[in-house]
Amino acid sequence: MAIFMVQGTVIGIVGTLIGGVLGIIAALNVSSLVGWVERVSGQHIFSSDVYFISNLPSQLQGGDVLLICSAGFILSFLATIYPAWRAAQIQPAHALRYE
């Protein structure tokens, strides 16, 4: 069971780190991303006729980033437990019989 837990934990760590870095980059460049989406789609996202704001404010806070990354890691670890337990219960010969 340990090998399945380690594999799931490593995937969770890598996914959390990649998601955290991409989220930070997106939060720091949200105005540029909105402008890019508007150019690509040809639609004005924050029309002054409809919305009271003309841009999307973004404020990056370290505590929020840490909380979100921690929650992502914990949830990925918890999601690893049951499949690892199930995989450890299967006999290798039985699993390979139908391959």
pTM over 0.85: no
Under DSSP, is residue 59 helix (H, G, I), strand (E, B) or coil?
coil
Domain boundaries, position 46: 2-89
Task: Return the closest-CA partner of residue 12 out of 72, 87, 85.
Answer: 72
Domain total in the chain = 1
Question: Is 95 inside any structural domain?
Answer: no
Look at residue 21 and tell me if it is in a domain.
yes
pLDDT average, residue stretch 9-32:
94
% of the chain surpassing 70 pLDDT: 97
Integer angstrom CA distances of residue 14 from 8, 25, 33, 45, 69: 10, 17, 24, 33, 11
How confident is the model at residue 47, as a pLDDT?
74
- Look at the alpha carbons of 88, 94, 98, 99 in this order and tell me if their dihedral is positive or negative: positive
Classify residue 70: in a domain, yes or no: yes
- 44 pLDDT higher than 90: no
Q: Considering the domain boundaries, does residue 50 fall inside one?
A: yes
Tell me the mean pLDDT in the region 75-95.
86
82 located within any domain: yes
Give the pLDDT score at 26.
Answer: 92
Q: Is residue 58 part of a domain?
A: yes
Percent of the chain with pLDDT strictly greater than 90: 51
